[in-house]
Structure 1
C-alpha cells in the first residue's frame, strides 16, 4: 500500500496586511491589532501518495504558490499540520542559492549540498548535470559571467538530476528555447515513469497538466474546491476561469 508523502491537515496560512511600516511597528511594540488579515490558504486538507502526479490549478492569488512554499519550508502555516516525507526538489526559483563568484561546477556542489546530497553523491551526478545543461564549455567560469538562460538551465539540470523523491514544478518547464523545453519535459516524464517520483505541478497550462498528471486539484480563494481525476479537474478549472 502506497504511503502518503505529503499530508496537509486543516492548514491555514494567514498574512497580516498593514497600511504602512509605522502601523507594523506599532502593532509589534504594543500588540495592537491594526491590520487586516488575508487567508492565502484557508483550512486546506489533502494527501498525496508516493508516485502520484498531481496538478494544482487556480487563478492568480488562489493559494497555489503558498501551498508550494509551505511544502518547501519557505514559509510555515499559521494553523494546521504539514508532513513531507522524502527528498524534495523544487523547480521554482531555479537560480536561487547560486554564488555569483563560484564557477558553475562549484555551484553544482553548493546547490547539491543545500539539497541534502553528500559530495560523493554529487560527484557521481556532476557530468550528467553538466551535459543536460549544455554548458560544458563554460562550467569552470564564474556564474556571474553566465547569461540568465545559462543559469536557469544549470538550475533546472541540478534539480532534476539529484534523484528527487518529490518533484515540485511551478511553470519551470517554460525555461530556455523550444528544444530545451522539450528536453525538460522529456526528462520530467522519465523520472516520473522510471523512478517513481511524486510530482506536484502548478500550472496554467491544461495541456501540460494532462501530459504529466493523473489527478488534479482546483483552488479558489485559498480553498480546494475540487480534487479528482485530471480530466474533470481541467473542466472545473476552465469553467471557473471564464
Structure 2
C-alpha cells in the first residue's frame, strides 16, 4: 500500500472503516450510578466520548438532560506547557465556573488534589497520577448534573482512589448521575445501580451489576437484559 501511494501520490486511498459501536440503545436514569464494562476495544471509551459530544454519532440520537462534567482521558484539555495554577483556571472556566466561583473553589481543588506544593510547576513535569489528581479535583468542583468517568481513575494511587470513591456518596445524596466506565469490577458492583456490558461495540447485557459481571466473566455471546421477561 505504501509503495502504491508513493508511485501514485494523488491516488485516493481506501481505508477499512472501523465501527466502534453498533445499535447501542439504553437510558440512564437521573440520579443513577450507571456502570459500563467490557473488554479492551469493546467501545466503552467511544461511548463516553459520544455522550460528552466529543465524537458525533453516525446514526440514531443522543439526548442528554443536564450539565456534563467529563473525566474521560488523562490530561484531556490540559496544556502541559502551563503550570497547574493556570490549567486549573483555564479548564474550570471552560467547564462552566464563573470567575467568582473559581476564586471560591480554587483552594478546594488544590487541597483535594494534594498538589499545593506543585501548583507552579508545568504539567509536563507531572506524573500521570498527579494529572489524574488535578483533573478529578476540577471535575467535581464544576457545576454538573452528570459526571462521565473513564478508566483513568485506575492511574491514581490507592489512597487517592479511596478519596475519589468517598465523593460518590456525596454525589448520590445530591442526586447526581454518574456514568462509570471501569475494569475494576469490585468498584462497579459496589457503587453502580445498573451496569451495561459492551462486547465488540454491541450491548450484550444490561441490569444488576452482580449479574452482568457474572455474564462478563463467562463471556456469554448472547444479548441478555437482566430481569426482563422471556415472554413476548
TM-score category (smaller protein): 0.7 to 0.9
1:165 aligns with 2:126: no
d(CA) in 2 for partners of 1:134, 1:122: 18
1:125 aligns with 2:105: yes
Structure 2 counterpart of 1:220: 199
The number of equivalent residue pairs is 218
TM-score in terms of structure 2 length: 0.83
The Cα of 1:164 is off from its aligned counterpart by 2.3
Distance 1:102 1:189, change over 3 A: same
Structure 1 counterpart of 2:226: none
d(CA) in 2 for partners of 1:48, 1:143: 35
Match of 1:209 among 163, 171, 188: 188
The Cα of 1:159 is off from its aligned counterpart by 1.0
Q: Deviations over 1:114-135 (max 9, x none)?
A: 2122222222211111110111
TM-score in terms of structure 1 length: 0.80
Q: Which has the higher strand share?
A: 1
RMSD: 2.5
Match of 2:160 among 160, 180, 184: 180
If asked which structure has higher relative contact order (CA below 8 Å, sep 6+), I would say 2
The Cα of 1:186 is off from its aligned counterpart by 1.1
Match of 2:123 among 106, 131, 143: 143
Structure 2 counterpart of 1:54: 34
SS in 1 for 2:210: helix
d(CA) in 2 for partners of 1:228, 1:146: 39
Which runs of no fewer than 5 residues in structure 1 stay unpaired? Answer: 1-18, 29-33
The Cα of 1:145 is off from its aligned counterpart by 4.2
1:54-73 equivalence runs, <5 A: 54-73=34-53
